[in-house]
Amino acid sequence: MSPRLVWRKSVSVMMLSLTGVCALAGVSVLLFILGYLLWYGGKYINWDFVTQLPKPVGETGGGMANAIVGSAKLLLLAALTGVPVGFFGGVYLSEFGGKTFAFLVRYTTDLLNGVPSIVMGIFAYTVVVLPMRHFSTLAGGLALGVMMIPIAVRSTEEFLRAIPTALREGALALGASKWKTIVKVVIPAAAGGIVTGIMLDLARVAGETAPLIFTSFNNRFWSSGWNQPIASLPVMIYTYALGPYDDWHRQAWAAGLILLLLVLAANIVARTVLARRSTAREM
């Protein structure tokens, strides 16, 4: 081999191994985050943490039961506002949409997806908090709900589109009307995928903090109603991490671990289901 070729080959090997190092770096960051939280947060999770209210400032102990319930309530509200719009919007794009209007809706959805979460928070603030004159669970739920719409639309549309046209034609040929075909044939066939997509969507907004800090705010006690401020896990982590007490820091780690495990578990389940479905379709 000429020296030139040896040089070219060694450059090739070197650069290709560098790309491998890059990939490893990406994965190791995830493993580091997970490992560190398990190690650090795991120590501070106990029964009190999930069943008790936060202790008065300065006292050690206590838990974040209100924040866990609060997050669940906010997600429920988010799903109630975001999922219907996302689902029916997706059905429209896949089954009814024409050319121009559907393109407009699709493109707007993608842009909405890129709107920073903090801007969604401002929106919910001006629409709900300003007129009501106080922070509320409703405002937080609305902010998260609007954030859910884009992914709900796009994933619903993708899964409906993946249903073969032959299935629709079969139903129509049997005399079913279009909407009956959609409701009884197309949607049931795509239901698994749609539900999984919405689960991923929920997991995504579950960790959002920015739109909540000035909509649902925070609360050291149980929230007394939907129009009152409410605690949530991400906001608690933020407040406690920046707080001056060591005990708060420990609780922030524990809350971080719980949040991370919930989000990752939802992601792993959903993505495994999706991967199985797509390989099944290929075969």
Partner 1 sequence: MATPSIAVARPAPSRFPRPGGARAFVERLRSGDEIAHLITLIFASTILFLTAWLVYELWVHSALPRQTFGLGFLTASTWDPVFEHFGALPFIYGTVVTSALGLLIAVPIGVGAAIFLAELAPHGISEALTFSIELLAAVPSVIIGLLGIFVLVPILRKVVEPFLKATLGFLPFFQGPAFGIGFLAAGLILAIMVVPFIISISRGILLAVPTEQREAALALGATKWESTWKVVVPYARTGIMGSVFLALARALGETMAVTMVIGNDPKISASLFAPGYTIAAAIANEFTEATGDLHLQALIELGLVLFFLTILINAFGRILILVTTRKGTSRE
> Which residues 187-226 are close enough to bind partner 1 by CB under 8 A?
200-201, 203-204, 206-210, 213-214, 217
Cα distance between residue 66 and residue 77, in whole Å: 16
> Which residues 14-43 are close enough to bind partner 1 by CB under 8 A?
15-16, 18-23, 25-27, 29-31, 33, 36-37
Rounded least distance, CB 80 to partner 1, Å: 14
Rounded least distance, CB 76 to partner 1, Å: 18
> Which residues 95-114 are close enough to bind partner 1 by CB under 8 A?
95-99, 101-114
Nearer to partner 1 by Cβ, of 50 and 85: the residue is 85
Q: Which position among 43, 180, 184, 276 is part of the footprint of partner 1 (CB under 8 A)?
A: 180
By CB under 8 A, residue 49 contacts partner 1: no
Q: Count residues near partner 1 (CB under 8 A).
A: 106
> Which residues 146-175 are close enough to bind partner 1 by CB under 8 A?
146, 149, 151, 153-155, 165, 168, 172
Nearer to partner 1 by Cβ, of 101 and 221: the residue is 101
Q: Quick one: three-class SS letters along the chain? A: CCHHHHHHHHHHHHHHHHHHHHHHHHHHHHHHHHHHHHHHHHCCCCHHHHHCCECCCCCCCECCHHHHHHHHHHHHHHHHHHHHHHHHHHHHHHHHCCCHHHHHHHHHHHHHHHCCHHHHHHHHHHHHHHHHCCCCHHHHHHHHHHHHHHHHHHHHHHHHHCCCHHHHHHHHHCCCCHHHHHHHHHHHHHHHHHHHHHHHHHHHHHCCCCCCCCCCCCCCCCCCCCCCCCCCHHHHHHHHHHCCCHHHHHHHHHHHHHHHHHHHHHHHHHHHHHHHHHHHHHC
> Which residues 116-145 are close enough to bind partner 1 by CB under 8 A?
116-123, 125-127, 130
Q: Which stretch binds partner 1 (CB under 8 A): 13-21, 48-56, 67-75, 219-227?
A: 13-21
Q: Which position among 241, 247, 269, 273 is part of the footprint of partner 1 (CB under 8 A)?
A: 241
Rounded least distance, CB 141 to partner 1, Å: 15
By CB under 8 A, residue 256 contacts partner 1: yes
